[in-house]
Structure 1
Amino acid sequence: MTSRELNPKFFEASRAGQAIQHYINTIHGSPFRLYVVTQIHKARTEDMGESGMKYILEFSVKDTVGQSSEGRCSAEVLFPKGETQRPPQVQFSCDGLPRLNTSDKEQAFYQKYSANTNPVTATYLPDSYGHIEPDMVPFWHLGWLAASFVMLNESNENTRYNMAQVAKIKQLKSEDDQLHFEYEVLLHDMVSQEIIRWKLLITWSPAKSIKVVESELLPRCHCN
């Protein structure tokens, strides 16, 4: 096993930081909580042989919705080797992960849209000017969280993805006490500079959080 220190500002460290950010959002995110890795303080790698390459990071994370104070965290990310794409394995711990009490907002959002007689539909969040109507912001966050599942699953040592835009939203009939939505999200592949389009069927409730039930990679597009 060999170990190597990394410059926290270089691509190798930031790529692993992005995978950690996606993972945290799949576990702790909500329409009113969205996390970003704000700074990587230390980073190193360990060559795990046939198992893959492990990245060990110390970093700060912040809830960008609540604008809460930053929490100091550490994580290990193992990118598996092999020809078949497998998601990285992430283990992390945080001292005081910034989480505001958003339960009232989540319950109000859930009650409003579970009883909604006019299902929500929307396109292009944000619009070409970067604007999102206030009542659409939680749906933008849901799209970002759903995209985090895809970005984490597709991540390896040669990728780096960012959320670009929610292209379409369609609210479906609620089932099993869950809100159901069909999303189309645009992801920015930072390596190839391509825009990748995914169709996602998601469910959400305050009790069970967000789940991606189905995902489909759509044909590549040259989207703005």
Structure 2
Amino acid sequence: DIEDVGHKYYLELELEDVLDKGRTVNCTAEVLYHLGSKSTAPDVQLTVQGELRGTEEADQEFYNRIRSLEKELVAENIPDSHGNVPLELEPIHLLAWAASGYVIWQNSTENTEFHLAQVKHVKQVKRSDEDLQFDYVLLLHEMVSQEVIPWEVTVLWHPQHPARVSWDRRQLGHTLG
């Protein structure tokens, strides 16, 4: 506890590379949840010891494939009811996973535990610039309440930049807590 500020946690984690399942790196994190304000994201300081595999080549292939589509990509229910993610949609699922991490961070409290359950819907939106844009409806499972919350998220991405959540909101009619 930090008096009049909040609660600070020190974590030691082992991260698994989602693209190279046997590869892990150690990391430490300090997480500070501020007192009284549920609208303030926790402060997170992260240190990673080691490196995860680079994805530059796969990122560029995915980017080129999506840019060359004649019709915008549209998909639903990733993973499906059996937990399967079609290989060609794996990058879409990974972008959703990264975006959900941002949404979870921005909306976490000490009393919540969110997980990405499913991409309910995703639609590519054509843009005039070089970014790819995907409009998602993500289903976030809040483990404490067992509520599944639809969350609308717009993700911008280019292989030379990290994924960016440009807009997000809980779907109307769904509130937290």
Kept after mapping to 1: 8 A contact 2:149/2:174: yes
- The answer to whether structure 1 residue 139 and structure 2 residue 139 are counterparts is no
Letter in 2 for 1:179: L
Paired residues for 1:48-197 under 5 Å: 48-97=2-51, 99-197=52-150
- Measured in 2, the distance between the counterparts of 1:171 and 1:149 equals 19
- TM-score (structure 2 length as normaliser): 0.93
Q: Any runs of at least 4 consecutive aligned residues in structure 1 with deviations exceeding 4 A, and if so which?
A: none
Deviation at 1:179, TM superposition (A): 0.2
- Measured in 2, the distance between the counterparts of 1:49 and 1:163 equals 33
Letter in 1 for 2:118: Q
User: What are the ranges of 5 or more consecutive residues in structure 1 without an aligned counterpart?
Assistant: 1-46
Number of residues paired by the alignment?
A: 174
User: What are the ranges of 5 or more consecutive residues in structure 2 without an aligned counterpart?
Assistant: none
Kept after mapping to 2: 8 A contact 1:68/1:100: no
Deviation at 1:191, TM superposition (A): 0.6
- Measured in 1, the distance between the counterparts of 2:79 and 2:12 equals 32
- Measured in 1, the distance between the counterparts of 2:162 and 2:37 equals 32
Deviation at 1:95, TM superposition (A): 1.3
Partner SS for 2:64: helix
Q: Residues 139-192 of structure 1, C-alpha deviation per residue, up to 9 Å, x if partnerless?
A: 111111111111011111111101100000100013321001110000000010
Paired residues for 1:31-46 under 5 Å: none
Deviation at 1:83, TM superposition (A): 3.7
Letter in 1 for 2:41: P
Deviation at 1:101, TM superposition (A): 2.2
Kept after mapping to 2: 8 A contact 1:71/1:95: yes
Percentage of matched positions with identical amino acids: 33
Q: Residues 56-110 of structure 1, C-alpha deviation per residue, up to 9 Å, x if partnerless?
A: 112211112222421121111001111442111010112104x112211111111
Letter in 1 for 2:36: G
Kept after mapping to 2: 8 A contact 1:167/1:185: yes
Q: RMSD over aligned Cα, in angstroms?
A: 1.5
- Measured in 2, the distance between the counterparts of 1:161 and 1:103 equals 29
Kept after mapping to 1: 8 A contact 2:38/2:109: no
